Amino acid sequence: MDAPLIPDEPRPKRNGGRPRNPEARPDRATVRFTKIEYLAVKRRAQSARLTVAEYCRQAVLTGQVLPTLDPAALPALHELRALGNTLNQLMKKAHGDGVRSIAVKADALLDELNKLLAV
């Protein structure tokens, strides 16, 4: 009978669980506010549609706060995204069938894009 083979090197231990986030922020700085100061910072963060932590981080690192996208602009962004998809489909068709096959659709798309950007 043959003896079972014993590996020369031990198997590496597997690290289970979720992988670490490479953008994690392990370091912390604490700032103390009075109640009125905190409410002012919180109000500004809400108007910029940011968390208080993100608002403070942007203010400290860059000296200015860039607000997130206004909800009123979301329909226009959706429309632009749809126009981009249509343009991509037209270009794909133009490569296959020739440029003349999409001329009318391309003109209509450009008119729609100009109307959207004029607003």
Task: Give tens-digit pLDDT for 67-77.
Answer: 887 778 888 88
* pLDDT score of 76: 82
- Structure tokens that stand for 7 in this block: 């590996």
The predicted pLDDT at position 118 comes to: 76
Higher pLDDT, 107 or 119: 107
Predicted confidence band of residue 23 (pLDDT cuts 50, 70, 90): confident
Higher pLDDT: 66 or 52? It is 52
pTM, to two decimals: 0.49
